[in-house]
A = this chain, B = another copy of it.
Amino acid sequence: MEPIKQRYSHQRETILQVVQSTLVHPNADWVYKETRKIIPNISLGTVYRNLNQLVESGRILKLKDEAMVRYDGNTGQHDHFRCSKCGKWYDVELIDQSIFKSFAEKHDFRIESFNLELEGTCKNCLDS
């Protein structure tokens, strides 16, 4: 069988740029609203479909929030801190990943990704 053909689409590239242009780790609706500033008649379904494809092809990351999915244009190795008060996501410095690598070998699983998430209260919320 033939390889799946993925065609270029203006919408997909715009969505990718929107996700890559921010540090907010947006959800689908945020991406939708931002993308509509560039393509006013884009459909919400198109945003969802393309976000999923971009995750599938590894060009963006998928994050799990409380009751929503969030996306991350930064596909480099990093972890997250989530503020339980304001809901903001912050990138944090990575612990040496070799810790996890050696850990992986103790188990009978094929480990494909490590995800370390810290939760608490951010500086902003602590100050105010």
- Interface of A with B (CB < 8 Å)? 64-66, 81, 83-84, 90, 92-93, 95, 99-100, 103-104, 106-123, 126
Contacts and interface: CB of A to CB of B under 8 A. Distances in A.
Contact of A108 (B100, B112, B123): B123
Nearest to A106: B93
Contact of A118 (B81, B83, B93, B104): B104
A61 to B, nearest CB: 12
Contacts of A119: 111-115
A66 B115 CA distance: 14
A99 B95 contact: yes
A83 to B, nearest CB: 7
